[in-house]
Structure 1
Amino acid sequence: MKIDERHLVQLAAVVQAGGVTEGAAFLGLAQPAVSRTISMLEKRVGEPLFVKGKRPLQPTPLGRALAEHGSTMLAAGRKASDTIESFRVGNSGIVRVGGTPFFMDALIAPMIAEFQTRHPDVRVDLTYGYFPDLRTALHADQIDLAICPIDILDEGSGLTFQQILPGRNVIACSVTHPLLLKRRPQPSHLLDYPWIAPPPGSPLMSDLRGMLLSFGATEIKIRYSGGSLMSVVNYLKTSQALTIMPHSVVFALRNDKSITALPVTIPHPERALGLLKRADALRVPAIDQFARYIGASFDDLKSLIKRHEQSVVWGM
């Protein structure tokens, strides 16, 4: 025997509300229509669904059993409505984010955690990569959003770029490095120490080469390479090695008091950190919420980062 699911939902509403009028009001239906549904359902099953003469209405054992099935569908309908509304306002969904390792680990990961305290039903899937790989992943619909530094975005790339932080590199070292004892370290002093190479594929690698060549180096004394941000920091703080880092990463690690920036102004390319998306991407509210949160977080940080730069790099 096939039963119309809508009839079971109306039966469940009447049982839960204790009356046809109340059940109809709960569902936003007219009372006569719900009364007809109950009568039709009783004729269909050939058994009474409510005990006659009882007020509030009291379901028979069969009525109660059928109402339980209707309650399951009623709850599923409510949950579906809640899901739709939550998705529509950006409080649920999945955000697939790709980004460059140092920035993601030092700056973006804490922001993701803060974002999810406000939007706990939004899942964030994180992958690492540099601009060429992230661009490919965006076009292949493998990620929704990339957070990375780029020099220039070619016209016709099919991507949009929102700058969130101007580029600025510094020389990072341990807080006990001998060069910090010099009042004004000179570029030539940097060549007396070994270096940690940035991760392979990182634009920082070309920045390091260009910087050291501008200082007159004929070769680069690489002591360590290929490490994660944590391994580079741990290596720096227990050695006299130097490395090149985005200033914002050093800023993010300032409270650890393990590494700092040398007070040496170095050349750096015109590069900015920003949010990269496909221009033709479907609008997903959770992704929009996340992008706005990251942008607002960097707006709050910009002045702090600038003051830190003036204090640590130029003020020493």
Structure 2
Amino acid sequence: MDLRQLRYFLAVVENGSFTRAAAATGRTQQALSKGITALEQQLGERLFARGTRQAQLTDAGRLLLDHARTADEAVRRFEDRLTEMQTGSEGQVRIGTGPSTAGSLVAPAVLALRRHWPKIGVHVVGGIAPELQPALLARELDVVVTLHTAGEDTPDPRIHSEVLMHDEYRVVASVRHPLARKKNIDPARLIDQHWIFGRRLGAVELAFRQHFLDAGLQPPANTMETSSPEFLRALVREGSYLTLLPSRLAQAELLTGQWVALDVPGVLWQRPVMAYTRAGEPQSAPLARLLQALRNAAQIAGMRELV
């Protein structure tokens, strides 16, 4: 039985279809289907019911599933240990992180990790949760650290989530903005301002809009949306745009005095910062150490906010 074919089989199960499995593994759908067909021929059994849009396991497929996962995990542990023996390293950990957590949480955690275990290999990929979680399920990443994203009310059962801390959303502006030094800003003064927002604010955006509706006002209409933190920063830095950001994403500019959090009563919301790992799998030593470093970094960050 070919290990590659077993991993194709697991990818189809974990992603729910041949198309998504092909995208997750970086293979063509034809190559994936060919590998599954070859495996079925070796076993003399169909593993997936044909003619359905979703990849539905047959009885033989369900029987194979637990054994395939065990075999795959055992081989991966062997490969990791062999690499450690050959290179003298202490293993590796692959991290996916969102823009608001990369510098404020993941970086301090990695620095602390490497101080204690300097030979652990660390690979970091940037993105947002909906983009990073498929890579987590495809075993291209070991952990994803991001803000809780809109649309996650029904979590994927294959993913374990842990709340590390909460981040606050504030209205942020350049110190050169006309409202930068104003106190107790009325919502009416915000309506005609230029606004730029990031993507997937979800419940925070709804609460922001509701703040104006509760005051008998229409929410700001002069808004832009971007997926580029650099573009957002450039517009806010120019001085005429306001934005709604988690405080950790604006941490550097706020600490250096380039930006200010506006004094807008009632405009302060929180979203949890999450660590996502694959559910039901034993954690490698490097991953367990990183998760503890993340918890420690989150605790230190929370204590700083109380000072």
TM-score (normalised: structure 1): 0.60
Closer/same/farther in 2, CA of residues 196 and 156 from structure 1, 3 Å limit: closer
The within-5 A match list for 1:116-131 is: 116-131=114-129
- Pick the aligned partner of 1:214 from 211, 216, 223: 211
What SS is found at the alignment partner of 1:92?
coil
Gap regions ≥5 residues in structure 2? 1-80
| Structure 1 residue 206 displacement after superposition | 6.1
In structure 1, the partner of 2:177 is 177
Alpha-carbon separation, structure 2, partners of 1:270 and 1:182: 23
Alpha-carbon separation, structure 2, partners of 1:294 and 1:252: 20
Closer/same/farther in 2, CA of residues 236 and 278 from structure 1, 3 Å limit: same
The within-5 A match list for 1:24-173 is: 83=84, 92-150=90-148, 154=154, 157-173=157-173
| Structure 1 residue 224 displacement after superposition | 6.5
Instruction: Check conservation: 1:172, 1:262, Cα contact below 8 A.
Output: yes
Give the ranges of 4+ consecutive aligned residues of structure 1 lying more than 6 Å apart after TM superposition.
none
Q: Which amino acid aligns with 1:204?
A: L
Q: Which amino acid aligns with 1:191?
A: I
Larger Rg: 1
Deviations 1:20-56 (A, max 9, x none): xxxxxxxxxxxxxxxxxxxxxxxxxxxxxxxxxxxxx
Q: Which amino acid aligns with 2:145?
A: I
Does 2:196 match 1:203?
no
Alpha-carbon separation, structure 2, partners of 1:268 and 1:136: 31
- Higher mean alpha-carbon deviation, 209-218 vs 183-192, is at 209-218
Instruction: Check conservation: 1:107, 1:249, Cα contact below 8 A.
Output: no
RMSD, aligned α-carbons: 3.2
In structure 2, the partner of 1:77 is none
Q: Which amino acid aligns with 2:208?
A: M
| Structure 1 residue 270 displacement after superposition | 6.3
| Structure 1 residue 213 displacement after superposition | 5.1
The within-5 A match list for 1:14-29 is: none
Gap regions ≥5 residues in structure 1? 1-79, 308-316
Deviations 1:181-223 (A, max 9, x none): 322111221122101121xxx3326633651353133553125
Alpha-carbon separation, structure 2, partners of 1:110 and 1:233: 22
TM-score (normalised: structure 2): 0.61
Q: Percent identity?
A: 18
Question: How many residues get paired?
Answer: 221
What SS is found at the alignment partner of 2:171?
strand
In structure 1, the partner of 2:245 is 245
